[in-house]
Amino acid sequence: MRPRAAALGLLAALCGVGLLGATRPPGLGDVTDVRHWSYKGYTRVVVQLSRPSASAVKRLPANAAAGRPERLFVDLPGIWVGRRYEKPIPVGDGLLRGVRLGQNTLRTTRLVLDLERYQDHRMLLLRGPDRVVIDVFGRERRKREPGDSQLPLEVRGVQTVVLDPGHGGKDPGAIGYGGVQEKHITLDLARRLRPRLERLGLRVAMTRGEDRTLSLEERTAIAAGAGGDLFVSLHANAARRRSARGIETYYLDTSNERQSLRVAARENGVSPREFDQLDRTLVRLQLAENSRYSRLLAGLVHRSMLRGVGQRYRGVVDLGVKKGPFYVLFLSSMPSVLLETGFVTNRDEARRLRNPRYLDALAETIALGLAEYRSRVDTQVARRNR
Ligand SMILES: [Zn+2]
């Protein structure tokens, strides 16, 4: 399955006339882009805005008399769209008929998703740039239960690993000792990890293979498009306290541990203050289905890193397996973990993370952890198919 990404951007911005010919009130934000991706079982719509805005998603039943299908809508107060998206953006993937945006009142834009099938939806607000992400799930999706897992995983086992080198391009990530940039470390590590996984017979997809800017939803779209069975986001940590050091591994949860929230805010690209607000939105949302597998994956990779690197290097501190509200994990639809491989703000660890020998050792141990995970899952698949 390939995601159909349609950039429908500013090209349609031809018409300056607003609601009923009214002129645009001052002080409003704009819709700067609308994109959608179709996956097996769900469709993702991303509306980019020049400032944050959104309200609750509401659902309307079909209206046969008016020829209207069942639909979802979200009002975007303080946003002006005028008649730019007057013509619906067709999707037609069996789940969404199309996307419409209109000037509902002089100061509010309404986003409407015309549905073909519907079971469930979720919304997430992202910053930098501001965007509203809505995932719409179709009916064939199984009812979610706590600890439930994705069907393809059970059937296929683990074949494709998606490596996500954190940050890149305009986003350097954490900047540490001697000016080292996290984005270079994560890419270097991914390049060393890739051939090791391939030697284990795994297919590897990377969200980026060079130094380029990539949004969270692009990362997860690449992962889903590659048919990934698991998603590994690579990062390096930072702290004000220069002595802070060690390795920690995260899987998705809405835990509000202070320390996890700080790391999550940084990796989500928002300030801790902004994140506190956004986090409340996230807490209300249902967790990904894959948390049982993500927890297993996190535990195995973490133990392997600690054991392997700890044997060869001094002072490798175990900061543990933790839960955190990471958007990149939330947006991905497969078992997912985020590795904080060391602190760039610590002198020793910054040096190590630039050292090819250390990165090779780290890559080796991550690969071993993933291999262990694969064999555990394969055993379960075999047992189920027996
Ligand atoms: Zn990072």
Q: What is the pLDDT of residue 14?
A: 35
How many A from CA of 57 to the centre of ligand 1? Answer: 31
How many A from CA of 232 to the centre of ligand 1? Answer: 12
Average pLDDT over residues 8-32: 62
Residues 6+ apart with CB under 8 A from 237: 174, 244, 246, 248, 263, 340, 341, 342, 343, 344, 345
| Of 191-200, 282-291, 354-363, minimum mean pLDDT range | 282-291
How many A from CA of 195 to the centre of ligand 1? Answer: 22
**How sure is the predictor about 140, in pLDDT bands with cuts at 50, 70 and 90?**
low
Average pLDDT over residues 353-371: 97
Alpha-carbon distances of 306 from 197, 313, 364, rounded to whole Å: 19, 10, 12
pTM over 0.85: no
Average pLDDT over residues 358-379: 95
Average pLDDT over residues 235-258: 86
Q: What is the pLDDT of residue 323?
A: 84
What residue segments make up the domains of the chain, in order of their start? Answer: 10-137, 151-385
How many A from CA of 226 to the centre of ligand 1? Answer: 22
Digit-coded pLDDT (tens) for 45-78 = 999 999 999 888 899 999 989 888 999 999 999 9
State in Å, rounded, how far the first CA of the chain is from the last one. Answer: 28
How many A from CA of 167 to the centre of ligand 1? Answer: 6
How many A from CA of 53 to the centre of ligand 1? Answer: 26
Please state the φ and ψ torsions of residue 303, each to the nearest 5 degrees: -60, -40
* CATH number corresponding to 151-385: 3.40.630.40
Whether the per-residue pLDDT at 233 is higher than 50: the answer is: yes
Among residues 319, 43, 52, 355, which one has the least CA distance to residue 184? 355
Dist CA 12 CA 100 (whole Å): 13
How many A from CA of 174 to the centre of ligand 1? Answer: 6
How many A from CA of 268 to the centre of ligand 1? Answer: 8
How many A from CA of 107 to the centre of ligand 1? Answer: 37
How many A from CA of 374 to the centre of ligand 1? Answer: 25
Whether the per-residue pLDDT at 79 is higher than 70: the answer is: yes
Whether the per-residue pLDDT at 267 is higher than 50: the answer is: yes
How many A from CA of 177 to the centre of ligand 1? Answer: 15
Digit-coded pLDDT (tens) for 184-214 = 999 999 999 999 999 999 999 999 999 999 9
How many A from CA of 50 to the centre of ligand 1? Answer: 24
Mean pLDDT of the chain: 84
How many A from CA of 20 to the centre of ligand 1? Answer: 47
More confident residue, 324 or 48: 48
The two structure tokens encoding residue 32: 């700067």
Question: What percent of the chain stands above pLDDT 90?
Answer: 58
Axis crossing angle, helix 356-385 with helix 291-312, rounded to the nearest 10: 140
Please state the φ and ψ torsions of residue 5, each to the nearest 5 degrees: -100, 120
**How sure is the predictor about 230, in pLDDT bands with cuts at 50, 70 and 90?**
very high
How many A from CA of 111 to the centre of ligand 1? Answer: 32
Digit-coded pLDDT (tens) for 330-349 = 788 788 999 999 999 999 99
Q: Which CATH architecture has domain 10-137?
A: Sandwich (2.60)
